[in-house]
Every structure is written in structure tokens, then in C-alpha cells.
Chains A and B, each alone.
Chain A
Amino acid sequence: MSIVWLWTDIALWVLTLLSIFAVYKIKKSESLSRKWISIFSRPIALSSFIIFVFYIFIGLSDSIHLRDSKTSEVYSLLDFALMPVIESEEKTYSTPLNYQQFSKEYLDNGLRGFVNLKHTPDEINSQSENIQYILTTTAWSLLVAIILFIPIYWLVSSRPLFSNKPVLWTIFSIVFLLIWVINTLPEYHILGTDKAGTDVFYKAVKSIRTGMIFGLLTTLMALPPAIILGLMAGYYKGRVDDIIQYVYTTINAIPGILLIAALVLILQVYMDENAQNYASSLERSDLKLLLLCVILALTSWTGLCRLIRAETLKLSELEYVKAAKVFGVANLKILFGHLMPNVMHLVLISIVLDFSGLVLIEAILSYIGVGVDATTMSWGNMINAARLELSADPIVWWPLASSFIFMFGLVLSANLFADRVRQVFDPKEGEDA
């Protein structure tokens, strides 16, 4: 076993380290920690954040890749946890938690009927037995969850932020869900299988990382140009401002999705031509994902840049900036020591607000055919593949529903959280704590 570092893995872990550093900084600053406490004092914001962090943890566990030295296959930590369903591919469709295949085929005895799935408890031979088995597992999981929840409750309930029903319910639901999945996964295809017989739950969970990378890395990469150019335009004014404004107006003038589409097409052509440079298809698709984020960042930094420019224009007229100038403090120090910390609230707001939009855009780009690589598991690819299945009879709904629900969970929790962050950090919103 050896660790394989994909580009996006590195980026994500760097990002994780950065956020740990940010938390440390926040804890040190009294006014910032007060603001964050105020954010989490809304149960709905804290609950959303917990769910969001849960998603992030899944994504991170999918971001440590190991290469099996014998088969030279690459698996992530998450893959090891999901191994039972990876190794049991069915022939074709099956509905969620079923023990039989979705469509009939010829059995050993020559008649047409439903074949039992490979990945199903051995002793089950009828629908009622199946239901009973599932109910037993569920009840058993509930019991374990309650027992596990008692110490958590005891730990958490003394903290005022956590001692309210929505937050406790959120934590309990996550604990229960986790245990239920652990119990069910080895026996069932929880969300059924798709046309090729691949487990849908596996695909939906694997897609979390893709969505997360899309939402986080894109904004992260858009930040440096947005911040640096925005600060410079607002501080130096004059020629510098003219040039920077020209650049972002020009980029803004190009219809966004066309620009993205054009860039992705070029990327595709380029990667096809240089296919020999990539060690494996995994690395190739990973690089494409990363470059896709770069492309989106290229087209999306302008909005934040404009906001920062406007704010910097206002700030640079303030007395503390003038005082620093009078004292001969170097321009770079004024830019990054005085101005940057005072526009960071805009940066934070744009990170949290853009995240969910980007996750949604991923699906649309994949639909137009300019999204992530076809081999990368993503909600967009799932939706794209499942679109035609809706017209099948009987209707194949679960791959589509699964991807929508998984995406909805992430986007909704991010949006609700973002809402509160904006409320607290945006002076225009006016805090109503």
C-alpha cells in the first residue's frame, strides 16, 4: 500500500489546514469569536453547519488515496468502507433495498422470473422476509444509536449553543443514519443499482467529493485575483484602476457559460492529445476536475473583485489609511495589513454564498457536456445518465432521486448556513440577533 496524492487531494487538504488556521485565528480574536458565536446561536444555522461538516468529512475521507501494491488499483479510505458494494456489481437495475433484480430473466429452471441479487442476505426468499429483515436491522440500529447518543448528549447538553431541540435532533439523526448504513450496507444495495448494476448509494456518496471540490476549490482559486486586483484597483485608483476595470468588464462581457464551454472544449482537446502524459484514468479525470475549477474561477472572480474594489475605494478614504500613509507605512503593508482584513467579511460572504451555486452549476455543465470527466462520479453525471430512464416503463426513478436528494442536502445546509453568515457579517443586513 502506498499513498497516492491526487492534485485535488492536495488542494483539499491544504484548504483544510487553512481552515484550521482560520479557526485558530478566530478563537484568538475576541470580536470575531463573538460574531461566530452569534452565527451559531441560531439552531438552524448550527444544524446546517453540522450537516455540512458531515458532508465535508465524507468528502475528506474520500480524499486520501492508497494504491494497492499488488493490483495497483487506487482506493480511497471511503472506498474501503464501501468495499462490500464495490465488489458486488449486479447485472442490471434493482430498486432500493430489494433482494431481487428489477427485471425478469430466464432462470435456471427455464422459466422467466426475478433473479436474486448477489448482494443480499442469504436467507431471504420473499418480499415479506425482506421487509422483516430491514425492519429488524433498523430497530437494532435505532437501539445502538440511542445508546451511543447518551454520552454525546451528556457531553453536549451543558453547552448552551447545543442544548436545543433542532441541534440535538440533527446530531441524533446523523448518528442513527451512520449506524443504519453501517448495518445495512454489507447486506443491501441501499439505493438500488443502476443499469450497469453499480450501487447507486456508492455513486451518490462518491459524488460528494466532486461537488465539494467544485464548490470549495473554485472559490478558493478565484480569491487571489479577486482580492489582489480589487484591493489594487481601489487603493491605487487612476491608471491601475482603469486597467483592472477594463479586464473584468471584458471578461464579464463574454457570456459566462459560453466562455466556460469554450475553455472546457479546449481543455478536452488538449487532454485527448496528450493522453499519454497521465499515469491512470483516475489521475487524468482528477486533473480535469481541477482544471475545470480553474476555468470556473477564471470566469467568476470578477464579481467579488468588483465588490472589493468598491469597498476599498471607500476604506482608502478613511483616516486610518491616511494616517498610515502619513507615517510612511509601505503601500504593501497598507494593502495587506490595513485594507485586506477589512474586506475579509466580503470574501467570507462570497465563499459561503457561491459554494451552493457552484455545486448546482456542476450538474448543469455535465448536462451540456462540458462538465467533469465521464468517469468521475458526480451528481451531474448521475442526473445526465438517469434522465432517459424516466421514460422507461416501469419508471426507473431511484438514481435520479438519489442524486437530487444528496445534492439537495448539501446545497440546502450550505445555503441556510450562508444566510446566517451573511446576516451577521454584512453590515447592510443589520443583525437581528
Chain B
Amino acid sequence: MWSYITRRIFYSIPILIGVNFITFVLFFIVNTPDDMARVQLGTKYVTQADINSWKEQKGYNKPLFFNESVSGMEKLTDTIFYQKSAPLFQLDFGQSDSGRNINEDIQQRMWPSLALAIPSFIFALLTNIIFAVWMVMILGSKLERFALVFSVALMSISGLFYIILGQKIVAGLWNWFPVSGYIDGIESWRFVTLPIIIGVIAGLGAGVRWYRSIFLEEINKPYVNTARAKGLSENRVLFKHVLKNAMIPILTGVVVVIPTLFMGSLIMESFFSIPGLGSYTIDAINAQDFAIVRAMVFLGSVLYIIGLLLTDISYTFVDPRVKFK
């Protein structure tokens, strides 16, 4: 098992380098360090000297990928790409282009993100599975047909509609919750409840249908008929046999997103003005702050890879057939 995990971590390094390379190339195709300097320094009264000193200060005064002027390995290491990428692997994100300490920002902003993302994730998971199980229990009935069409209708409504209507009615008209904003600590529940509810409802249609199709696929397998033939009740067949086996495909879809919860939700956070990592990213995109975007992309990729690894490990707990080799 440890050898497996070590190997997986080993394999993920080229992926992270690839991710870094892609983001790097993307940003530098059109946005040269000079352009970045102009954006950061403001357009008025900027001389080339100012730009150069900004580049020097921020470490953008080297060649991108290959340094002709030095020798040996330094041809590769004394470049913007290497200098800016290597610290990322130690999770040292350095300073943003506007001079903020990214690590500090992340440490401060991760809590609101988690306060929103974790409950959203758990409630959505539970609601989706409960409704899906219910639909399987009434499989073939008129009510189930209706529920099916209803869930298609739910997923056909834009997520923005739920957000806007929720803010207008629940928060604006009825004053149950604040429309937006955030306070640290216990009081935060008042600010995150509405986005959580909206998030659960917005994902309900698609989620229920996904879980339902997993259950249906499982319910048509031969061992289910064996269980019935043994004289077990339908409920026991469903909960003891089908649900337990369905956990395996469910895990593939679910575990991989758990680490990325950390990144927060771009849409929800910016709509509800929650100062998490999601809104942090959006602000950075709008301000064209390369350092922050790169840090977030890298962080997201690391978390995704951790998610893949966790998925594999979690298999060993639910599927006795899986053994690491």
C-alpha cells in the first residue's frame, strides 16, 4: 500500500509540472512581463525604467524557459519558469503581483470557504442520495415518472435563477437571512445558510438523476436476484445489497471533489460576498494578478491529484476485491 501511494505521488509530479507549464504559457503568450508591470503600476507616468525595476523586484527579468546567458543546468533553472515554479512545489506561493503575501491570504480566506463548502457538500450528498433511494423504492410508479420529469425541470433552470430568487425573496423580502456578507466565528452560520440551501437545490436535479442511474445499474445485476431469491425483503435487498455496492461508483465521483472543496465556490462566494478563496480567485482574475491565479491553479491541481489518490485508497475500504499492487 505505501509503495502504491509513493508511486502515485511520484507519478503526479509530471502532471503538476504540466499544469504549471500550461498556465505559464497561457499567461505569457499575450501578457508579457512588461504588460503586467504596466497593469500593476498604473498606466500613467510609467517609464521603461520603472517597468524594469518592477520586473527586477518581482523576478520577471529573466528569460521564460531557457537562459542562454548562463551555463550548465542554470540554463534551465535561471529562468522565470523555474524560479516561479519551484517554490510552488513546497507550497510557497510567495507574493502576489500587487505585493500581498499569498500564503497568508490563503490561510485567512480558507475558513469562510470551508464554512460554506463543507456543509454544502454534505447536505447536497445526503439530499441527493435520499431522494434517489426514494425514487428507486417507488420505481415504475406514476409518482416516480413525475419525480423524474420534475428533476429534469430542476436541472434545466439556471443556477443563477436560484441564487437571484433566493436572495430576493428569502433574504430580501422575508428577511430570514442577510442578503450577503460574512462575519467570522459562530455567527457565520447566518451568512452561509442561504447559499448552502440554494446550492443544494440548484444541484438537486442533476444529482438525483446521477445517483438514481447508479442504483439502477446496480439493481439489474444478478446478485440482486440471488438476494431476492433468498427470501429477503425488498428493503433489505435495497439497503443492504444495492446501496453497499453502489457506494463503489459513488465514491469515484464524490471523493475526488472533497479536497477541492478547499478552493471554495467562485459563484456562490462572489454572489454572497463571502471572503473565501473563490472570491479571492475571481478578484485576482479581474485584476489580472498572475501570481495569485497561478497559485490557485497549482493548489487546485494538487488538491485534485490528492482527490484521485484518496479515491483509490477509499476503494480498499468499500471494495474487498481491490488490493494495491
Contacts and interface: CB of A to CB of B under 8 A. Distances in A.
A, B from the same assembly: yes
Interface of A: 44, 246-247, 249-255, 257-259, 261-263, 265-266, 269-270, 273, 356, 360, 363-364, 367-370, 379, 383, 387, 390-391, 400, 404, 407-408, 411-412, 415-416, 419, 428-430
Interface of B: 14-16, 18-19, 22-23, 26-27, 29-31, 35, 149, 152-153, 155-161, 164, 168, 172, 213, 216-217, 220, 260, 263, 266-267, 270, 281-282, 285-286, 288, 293, 296-297, 300-301, 304-305
A28 B285 CA distance: 51
Nearest to A401: B161
A254 B168 contact: no
A249 B156 CA distance: 29
Contact of A258 (B18, B30, B158, B297): B297
A258 B160 contact: no
B155 A269 contact: no
Given A269-B30, A368-B267, A404 B158 contact: yes
B296 A258 contact: yes
Given A390-B164, A412-B153, A429-B213, A253 B301 contact: yes
Contacts of A428: 213, 217
B141 to A, nearest CB: 14
Contacts of A400: 164
Contacts of A247: 18
A257 B265 CA distance: 10
A98 B216 CA distance: 51
Given A255-B297, A266-B27, A430 B19 contact: no
> Is the contact region of chain B dominated by helix, strand, or loop, or is it mixed?
helix
Given A246-B18, A263-B26, A404 B296 contact: no
B282 A262 contact: no
A273 B34 CA distance: 14
Given A250-B18, A367-B160, A257 B266 contact: yes
A430 B139 CA distance: 14
A249 B301 CA distance: 10
B156 A411 contact: yes
A433 to B, nearest CB: 14
Given A387-B164, A390-B168, A400-B164, A254 B301 contact: yes
B15 A246 contact: yes
Contacts of A360: 158-159
B175 to A, nearest CB: 14
A247 B263 CA distance: 23
Nearest to B148: A419
13 contacts: A44-B149, A254-B19, A255-B304, A257-B266, A258-B285, A258-B300, A364-B158, A370-B285, A379-B158, A383-B160, A383-B164, A412-B152, A416-B149
